Amino acid sequence: MQIRHVQPTDLSTLIEIEKAGFAPAKAATPAAFKNRIDTISDTFLVATEQDQVIGFINGPVIDQLYLTDDLFTTTKPNPVSGGYQSVLGLAVAPAWRHHGVAQQLLSELAQQAQQHQRRAVTLTCEHRLIPFYEAAGFHNDGQSASTHGSVIWYNMVQALN
Cα–Cα distance for residue pair 117/91, rounded to 1 Å? 25
**Spatial contact of 130 and 156, defined as CB atoms under 8 Å apart:** yes
Which domain range does residue 96 map to?
2-159
156 vs 135: CA distance, rounded Å? 12
Report the alpha-carbon distance of residue 83 to residue 86 in Å, rounded: 9
Domain CATH code at residue 65:
3.40.630.30
Q: Which is more confidently placed, 45 or 161?
A: 45
Predicted pLDDT of residue 161: 75
Q: What is the pLDDT of residue 26?
A: 86
Q: How far apart are CA 141 and CA 124, in angstroms?
A: 10
Per-residue pLDDT tens over the stretch 111-133: 999 999 999 999 999 999 999 99
pLDDT at residue 22, rounded to an integer: 87
The predicted model gives 28-37 an average pLDDT of 94
Give me the number of domains the chain comprises. 1
The pTM (predicted TM-score) of the whole model is 0.95
Position 150 pLDDT exceeds 90: no
Give pLDDT tens digits for 80-116.
999 999 999 999 999 999 999 999 999 999 999 999 9
φ, ψ of residue 25 in degrees (nearest 5): -70, -20
